[in-house]
Structure 1
Amino acid sequence: MIFIDPPFWPAHGTVFSHLISDTSIAELHAFAAANGVTGRAFDLDHYDVPERIYAELVAAGARPLSGKDLARTLVASGLRIKAKYRVKSVGSVLELRWNALVPDQPELGADLLARWNEPHRHYHSATHLLAVLEALDLLTERNVPGQVALAAWFHDAVYNGSVTDEEDSAILAQACLNGLLPAPQVAEVTRLVRLTATHSPAPSDGAGHILCDADLAILGSAPGEYSRYAAAVRKDFAHIPDEQFHQGRAAALKQLLALDPLFRTVRGRELWAGQAQANLSGELARLGHNLAAADGTLTP
């Protein structure tokens, strides 16, 4: 169902309401598009709509709620984006994390953040980087090996929706870290970055297990968050026609479902394995069972 709170929030010479769904972001987008709400008004989990169209949206089916009740409804739906995952907050949090990890290289950290915030990124963005770093904290009880943390920072630092992204990111890591770290540590960081192309670490590769599980943690997220992830991945590959994307995406989902186990750490399996199976299977079913096999070049 679609909900709207009273026009109250001042900006641009008027006041604004918030428009939300308690079901899905897809439902919210569909309602907004059907009622002339511009896409520029979307802010991650809601639309900001001006007072002049409030009555029209209510007449179209948006249910009025108080501001407090609307916020509660959004939180209860599981679609709420936490404040720290909004762009300005993400940048501040990541800057603090980088300075704690590599305190004498603020320029390198700023360059990496600029890469993660490139405008063509949707899923593979700074928000993903923060989510990976937080997943590493969960998997290690906040005792993340430094080389694993650096690999997380570099693993999608180059992102063009290409099969060479991980290799290009590894090359960037080597170029940036040569001279800053001993050669064996640089080699380990670049090895781990390359590993995120396949998410298939060797049985004895403890560092690889942690990084791959953290990178794939989104697969085990709540359904609403997973839906946003899938939609953002489609935007990342907007240059690919629908049929080709669906084929490639289905192949990628099948590859993930074939990983045994999908999560290599005990903690990762406890946190994410069950929901990941449901999410991946559900998305594959929605894509259809009769898609032709693709080459699997789309990455999760």
Structure 2
Amino acid sequence: MTVLIDPPLWPAHGTVFSHLVSDTSLEELHGFAAAAGIPDRAFDGDHYDVAQRHFERLVAAGATPVGGKELVRRLTASGLRIPARERPSKLLPALRERWTRLLPQDPGLGEDLLLRWGEPHRNYHSRVHLLNVLEALDLLLPGSGLPPEQHRPLLLAAWFHDAVYRGIPGQDEEDSALLAERGLTALPTSEAAETARLVRLTTRHDPAPDDLAGQLLCDADLSVLAWPAPRYARYLTAVRADYAHVSDADFARGRAAVVEQLLALDPLFHSPLARELWLEAARGNLHGELEAFRRTRTL
């Protein structure tokens, strides 16, 4: 057991709080918290916030007390610590600025989208994912050859592509596209239609060979597959949390099918820069997932 707890020093709600973490796995942390009666709402991405009154009880249950600096050091070394910029609650100013640059005439639509991306049932499909896709497009767009008049529909498609998320593959993308068609009334009809078309492409990530905008959006959406190992592990944990209602065996079979579908995509990434940046790492991560499923015999 490697669950750690630091001293209750962090003030909030009329008391002080400790951080409860694991330096091994989130599964271990969640199991310990559940057994100790710590509610799910106390979890904040890589730790549980626990009030002072629980400190001695959690230590007695097996949590190891350490200083705050030691807790952060061990959490960081484990790869489980989430940087501040990746926390959904910290992203609103940066995302609002991006929306203002993109569509300043409709701030209300931007706020509606941010509320959707911040819905409490989202784990992977959150504001963090939205910003990651937009930042990936920041890398891919310069020098891509996409005409400037096509940039806005592409960026809007990034904002809308998971705006509706209920965990229903295919239907979520269609509903998100319909939301774009209804919401972008201030734009020329052709731009709204192009945005919706691009959103629908994220269902299968199979743009046509001459569809440069579609290729860029799909590449940006799948850039997560190339994340370094600790960050990729957090991505997998978040995806599993999005499907918490599914049994482990059913999730393993479904996730393995998704991984095999991704590995079968030819190409997995379309733009030359995306292939250079992400292809090798993405294939390594995907093959690693399949191998892990086979080792644990969950397929």
Q: Which residue of 2 aligns with 1:295?
A: none
Instruction: Go from structure 1 to structure 2 and tell me whether the alpha carbon gap of 1:52 and 1:176 turns closer, same or farther (over 3 Å shift).
Output: closer
Report the TM-score when normalising by structure 1: 0.85
The one-letter code of the counterpart of 1:249 is: R
Aligned to 1:207: 213
Matches for 1:1-300 after TM superposition, within 5 Å: 1-140=2-141, 145-162=151-168, 163-178=170-185, 180-288=186-294
Amino acid aligned to 2:127: A
Question: What is the Cα deviation at residue 60 of structure 1?
Answer: 4.5
Tell me which amino acid in the other structure corresponds to 2:175.
D
TM-aligned CA distance change 1:155 to 1:49, over 3 Å: same
Change over 3 Å in CA distance of 1:268–1:59 after alignment to 2: farther
SS of 2:80's partner is coil
Q: What is the CA-CA distance between 1:137 and the residue it aligns to?
A: 1.6
Cα 1:263–1:16, aligned 2, differ >3 Å: closer, same or farther? same
2:142 and 2:27 map into 1 onto residues whose CA distance is: 35
Amino acid in the other structure paired with 1:2: V
Higher alpha-carbon deviation: 251-260 or 234-243: 234-243
Ranges in structure 1 where 5+ consecutive residues have no aligned partner: 293-300
- Cα offsets for 1:108-164 (capped at 9, x unmatched): 111212222233322222222122112212333599922211010111112222222
Q: Which amino acid aligns with 2:121?
A: H
Whole-Å Cα distance in 1 between the matches of residues 181 and 42 of structure 2? 41
Q: C-alpha separation between the residues in 2 aligned to 1:238 and 1:19? A: 21
**3-state DSSP class of the match of 1:280?**
helix
| More deviation, 276-285/58-67 | 58-67
1:183–1:164 CA distance, 2 compared to 1 (3 A): same
Q: Contact conserved, 1:177 with 1:186, CA < 8 A, in 2?
A: yes
Task: Deviation per CA, 1:82-112: give whole Å up to 9, x if none.
Answer: 2233333222322221111101101111121
What is the distance in 2 between the residues matched to 1:59 and 1:271?
Answer: 48
- Tell me: CA distance 1:96–1:281, structure 2 relative to 1, closer, same or farther (3 Å): same
Structure 1 range deviating more: 111-120 or 235-244: 235-244
With normalisation by structure 2, the TM-score equals: 0.85
Task: Give yes or no for contact 1:78–1:222 (8 Å, CA) kept in 2.
Answer: no
> Which one is further off, 191-200 or 50-59?
50-59
Counterparts of 2:13 and 2:107, CA distance in 1: 36
Greater shift after overlay, 255-264 or 241-250?
241-250
Farther-moved stretch of structure 1 (37-46 vs 139-148):
139-148
Mapped partners of 1:87, 1:76: distance in 2: 22
Question: How far apart, in 2, do the equivalents of 1:285 and 1:48 lie?
Answer: 34
The Cα RMSD (Å) is: 2.6
Q: 1:61 to 1:240 in 2, by over 3 A?
A: closer
Give the deviation of 1:74 after TM superposition: 2.5
Return 5+ residue gaps in structure 2 as ranges. none
The alignment of Structure 1 onto Structure 2 pairs a total of residues equal to 291
In the TM superposition, what is the alpha-carbon distance from 1:239 to its structure 2 partner?
A: 4.4
- After superposition, the C-alpha distances for 1:182-238 in whole angstroms (9 at most, x for unaligned) are 333223212211111111122232222221111112222233332332233233334
CA distance in 1, matches of 2:74, 2:139: 28
Percent identical residues: 57
